[in-house]
Amino acid sequence: MLDDLVKNLVLVKREFANNYTGSAHIQEVIPVSTSIQFPIDTNHLEMLHDFAQRNPIYFNSFEEKIAGTTCVVYEGDINEYWLNSIKHGSSCQPFYPTWIMSAYVMALVAKKLGYRELVDIGSGDGRIAFCGKILELISYSIEIDNVLVELQEKISKSTNQNFNPKCKDALEFDYTQLQLTHPIFFIGGLSQMGGDLLATSIIDKINGISNISHNTGLVFAGTNSKKQLSNNISHGGWGSIIKKYNLNIVDTVSLPTIWTFDQTIETPYIYTKFN
């Protein structure tokens, strides 16, 4: 079911991107209703729309039939948030969101793998943590930028989904205070653009928490772009970190993101776990 969901989401994204004539800074789609192509729990689907509708980065929406599926197209602008997110001394990556539907699939995979807690590191507007919460994982959302965290708090309150937004530098945060038992960490950044700093800091911290170090998952956002990969081509740019820390790869799921909208490749999310 998950493989088909991913395949159909990518199909919809590619047809939408090919035919999009609007001029919005960012755009993404969410199916209107559950279907054979998108067999998603109706309540979850409603909550995904709720997240988009209550999120001020989107200023317009309309219905459109794409690849046989009626979807809502959400158009928005993240310029102001992007600028804020690069002002911090230890910012490892500016704000660029994944698609809401992709965030849902990512959390669904984490749920299927049996994790109990989801920790989104560099969480932007909190969409991955939000999706973890609606799937009944205990979610934490760590973000360095106060404007984005205020946005998360607003969405958390208005959707009635507490995904625990925290305005913290992920490099400094003390993860023992979350009392994690079986967590999965999503690292919010491409390896070559600062994500490697986030990842190594988290891995070192997890290694220092003896009761979870054998029990933890890490998800990396990779890239298939040859230009970005240059000389670090394996596992979407994460090969050397995976090797250095002896991580096991359990799955790779390629999904639409804002930054690959105009590309014919998607963003590979690499699910790994500690040995």
Ligand X SMILES: C[S@@+](CC[C@H](N)C(=O)[O-])C[C@H]1O[C@@H](n2cnc3c(N)ncnc32)[C@H](O)[C@@H]1O
**Least distance from C-beta 90 to ligand X, angstroms?**
5
Give the integer Cα–Cα distance in Å for 104 and 202. 23
**Least distance from C-beta 153 to ligand X, angstroms?**
15
User: Residue 148 interacts with ligand X (CB under 6 A)?
Assistant: yes
User: Residue 199 interacts with ligand X (CB under 6 A)?
Assistant: no
User: Residue 256 interacts with ligand X (CB under 6 A)?
Assistant: no
Beta strands in the chain (DSSP E): 26-31, 58-66, 69-76, 117-121, 138-143, 165-167, 183-190, 217-221, 248-255, 267-273
Helices 2-19 and 100-112, interaxial angle, to 10°? Answer: 170
Residues touching ligand X: how many (CB under 6 A)?
25
Among 27, 123, 139, 191, binds ligand X (CB under 6 A): 123
Q: Give me 23's structure tokens.
A: 């001029």
Q: Return the closest-CA partner of residue 267 out of 249, 259, 255.
A: 255
User: Residue 170 interacts with ligand X (CB under 6 A)?
Assistant: yes
Give the integer Cα–Cα distance in Å for 109 and 98. 15
**Least distance from C-beta 132 to ligand X, angstroms?**
12
Q: Where are the alpha helices (DSSP H) in 41-124?
A: 42-53, 79-85, 100-112
User: Residue 92 interacts with ligand X (CB under 6 A)?
Assistant: yes
User: Residue 153 interacts with ligand X (CB under 6 A)?
Assistant: no
User: Residue 236 interacts with ligand X (CB under 6 A)?
Assistant: no
User: Given the rule CB under 6 A, which residues bind ligand X?
Assistant: 85, 90-93, 95-98, 120, 122-124, 127-128, 142-145, 148, 169-171, 188-189
